[in-house]
């Protein structure tokens, strides 16, 4: 376990706490950034969370933030806050590798839209974070760079594909990270590492400048240590981008204000069928306690049945469509397992893709019916705690089946395009984190976060006794 910080070290403060300390003069963005860089140097040799550390840039940005804050120019809650980015989010002049030898020397000329927004908010960029190669996997086990290890137990995986993002936040190497989620790639590693991970409504956060896996399912979202912090990051990155064909026009409320408002009496759907089946490693007990916490918040719980579509035609076709030129020209630059997965989309015909894509749009238009009679829906995030590296190494042919288990409960919400949040809800007998998932209708991001924040606070009270 590597995440413990010494007394007085601010590494595990929340963004909200850090911002208050900046504005009260108790901490400086420069000192905090330097501490993060020192912590990365000390811990990341074992964790492998970072692919590229941008120390000089971070310190320059921290100095600029400190100067602005001292002169009364306040860019908002992220001003001076050290964060990091999954390494498939483009950064101008800084390599963006996708975790693959294929892109090892790729240096974008422009920032992704979300990076531009973070820069405008005064965030400090510590570097680029490790991932399952080109985001095509839920284990974090396959990639060109050494696999990221779980800060709670280095013998275990972080999950994927945003493995480095989860580990860096959990270990106190940064205060927030951006991840991407196509089948659970934010929520799975967040759950397995014991942090908060939020997948916004599809299209709420722009994808322009992000290496795609499957553009019909890809989401960008925050990974943080508290729900409030996730809301603060979302406030900066959310909103329509007219240059992004996947971007949608949705209202962007003041998320922090919604979190501070009184929690309404909610009707919570409990998706027992499929989502609560075959839970292992104390996940069932932690999930039962989580339901009790919701009931203590005044929520009315009722069972709901969700119809899960397992068809992956659109996903496979879009992944192959993006990668086909490199698959043909330089297949040796992919990991063998990644190449195999990408090639599963090669045989999808245009007719099959169009038919399944239209079916996807019809499903998304019908999502409101899923929430008839309930406001939000809850499930365990991942059915099992983090597997060990030894388990995966002993049975390499079982890696993909194990990944399908890890993302069993997360992938449906990518298909539906709905917001979904994972919040820590306990640990296994072996001390491995367990997460609980809260999902809402399309556009109900603020409501999902509000319940998540209330759940987080009440669970802490229950644990404290």
């399952």: which residue's tokens?
Answer: 132
How open is the CA angle 154-420-209, to the nearest 5 degrees? 80
Alpha carbons 112 and 237: distance in angstroms, whole number: 11
The percent helix, strand, coil of the chain (3-state, each to 5) is 45, 15, 40
Question: Nearest 5°: phi and psi at 357?
Answer: -65, -40
Helix (H, G, I), strand (E, B) or coil at 465: coil
406 closest CA partner among 137, 133, 136: 137
Mean pLDDT of 195-210: 98
Span 157-168, pLDDT tens digits: 999 999 999 999
Tally the C-alpha atoms within 13 A of residue 322's C-alpha that lie toward its C-beta. Answer: 17
Span 321-333, pLDDT tens digits: 999 999 999 999 9
**Alpha-carbon dihedral sign for residues 144, 209, 93, 83:** negative
Mean pLDDT of 376-387: 98
Helix (H, G, I), strand (E, B) or coil at 462: helix
* Residue 318, pLDDT above cutoff 60: yes
Residue 340: C-alpha distances to residues 12, 291, 336, 343 (Å)? 40, 40, 6, 5
Pick the catalytic residue from 28, 100, 139, 161. 161
* Residue 5, pLDDT above cutoff 70: no
Span 105-118, pLDDT tens digits: 999 999 999 999 99
Helix (H, G, I), strand (E, B) or coil at 399: helix
């049945």: which residue's tokens?
Answer: 305
Output the pLDDT for position 3: 47
Alpha carbons 333 and 21: distance in angstroms, whole number: 46
* DSSP output for 52-104: EE-HHHHHHHHHHHHHHHHTT----TTTT-EEEEETTB-BTTB---TTSGGGT
Span 55-96, pLDDT tens digits: 999 999 999 999 999 999 999 999 999 999 999 999 999 999
Output the pLDDT for position 267: 98
439 closest CA partner among 308, 277, 313, 260: 308
Residue 430: C-alpha distances to residues 138, 163, 288, 360 (Å)? 21, 20, 19, 40
87 closest CA partner among 120, 32, 48: 48
Give the residue extent of every domain in the chain: 10-309+357-464
Alpha carbons 89 and 357: distance in angstroms, whole number: 25
The mean predicted confidence, pLDDT, of the chain is: 96
* Residue 2, pLDDT above cutoff 70: no
- What's the start-to-end Cα distance of the chain, in Å? 25
Q: For the domain covering 10-309+357-464, report its CATH number.
A: 3.90.1300.10
Q: Is 86 a catalytic residue?
A: yes
Worst-scoring range by mean pLDDT, 1-10, 351-360, 401-410? 1-10
Establish whether the linkage from the previous residue to 50 is cis, with ω within 30° of 0: no
Span 430-443, pLDDT tens digits: 999 999 999 999 99
Percent of residues, the chain, with pLDDT higher than 90:
95
Question: Nearest 5°: phi and psi at 364?
Answer: -65, -35
Question: Nearest 5°: phi and psi at 50?
Answer: -100, 140
Output the pLDDT for position 183: 98
Tokens of 25: 């003069």
Task: Please state whether the predicted TM-score (pTM) of the whole model is above 0.95.
Answer: yes
Give the pairing type, strands 433-439 and 420-427: antiparallel
Output the pLDDT for position 6: 61
Pick the catalytic residue from 28, 100, 162, 185. 185
Output the pLDDT for position 4: 58
* Residue 459, pLDDT above cutoff 60: yes
H-helix or E-strand spanning residue 13: none
Tokens of 318: 């879009």
Pick the catalytic residue from 11, 28, 86, 287. 86
* DSSP output for 412-439: HHHHHT--EEEEEEEE-TTS-EEEEEEE
Output the pLDDT for position 9: 79
Question: Nearest 5°: phi and psi at 451?
Answer: -65, -40
| Res. 281 pLDDT band, cuts 50 70 90 | confident
Percent of residues, the chain, with pLDDT higher than 70:
98
Output the pLDDT for position 310: 86
* Residue 1, pLDDT above cutoff 60: no
Q: Which residue has the higher pLDDT, 318 or 6?
A: 318
Tokens of 450: 């509000």
Mean pLDDT of 451-464: 96
């Amino acid at each position: 376990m590597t995440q413990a910080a010494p007394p007085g070290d601010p590494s595990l403060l929340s963004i909200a706490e850090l911002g208050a300390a900046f504005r009260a003069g108790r901490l400086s963005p420069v000192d905090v950034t330097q501490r993060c860089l020192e912590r990365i140097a000390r811990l990341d040799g074992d964790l492998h969370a970072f692919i590229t550390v941008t120390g000089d840039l971070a310190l320059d940005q921290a100095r600029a933030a400190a100067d602005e804050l001292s002169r009364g120019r306040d860019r908002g809650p992220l001003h001076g806050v050290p964060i990091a980015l999954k390494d498939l989010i483009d950064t101008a002049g800084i390599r963006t590798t996708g975790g693959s030898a294929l892109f090892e020397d790729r240096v974008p000329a422009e920032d992704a839209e979300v990076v531009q927004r973070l820069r405008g908010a005064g965030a400090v960029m510590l570097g680029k974070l490790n991932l399952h190669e080109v985001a095509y996997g839920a284990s974090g086990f396959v990639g060109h760079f050494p696999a990221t290890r779980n800060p709670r137990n280095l013998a275990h995986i972080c999950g994927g594909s945003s493995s480095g993002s989860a580990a860096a936040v959990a270990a106190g190497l940064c205060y927030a990270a951006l991840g991407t989620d196509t089948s659970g790639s934010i929520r799975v590693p967040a759950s397995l590492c014991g942090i908060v991970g939020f997948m916004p409504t599809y299209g709420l956060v722009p994808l322009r400048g992000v290496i795609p896996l499957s553009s019909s399912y890809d989401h960008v979202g925050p990974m943080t240590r508290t729900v409030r912090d996730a809301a603060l990051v979302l406030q900066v990155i959310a909103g329509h981008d007219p240059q992004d064909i996947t971007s949608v026009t949705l209202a962007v409320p003041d998320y922090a204000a919604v979190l501070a408002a009184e929690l309404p009496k909610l009707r919570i759907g409990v998706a027992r069928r499929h989502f609560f089946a075959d839970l292992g490693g104390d996940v069932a007990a932690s999930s039962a306690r989580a339901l009790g916490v919701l009931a203590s918040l005044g929520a009315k719980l009722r069972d709901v049945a969700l119809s899960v579509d397992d068809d992956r035609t659109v996903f496979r076709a879009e992944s192959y469509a993006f990668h086909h030129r490199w698959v043909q020209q330089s297949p040796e630059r992919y990991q063998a397992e990644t190449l195999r997965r990408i090639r599963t989309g090669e045989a999808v015909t245009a007719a099959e893709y169009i038919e399944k894509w239209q079916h996807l749009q019809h499903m998304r238009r019908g999502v409101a019916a899923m929430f008839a009679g309930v406001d939000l829906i809850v499930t365990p995030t991942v059915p099992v705690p983090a597997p060990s590296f030894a388990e995966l190494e002993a049975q390499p042919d079982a890696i993909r089946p194990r990944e399908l288990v890890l993302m069993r409960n997360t992938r449906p919400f990518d298909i539906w395009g709905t917001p979904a949040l994972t919040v820590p809800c306990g640990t296994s007998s072996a001390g491995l984190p367990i997460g609980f998932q809260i999902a809402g209708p399309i556009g109900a991001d603020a409501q999902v976060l509000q319940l998540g924040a209330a759940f987080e606070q009440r669970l802490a009270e229950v644990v404290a006794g």
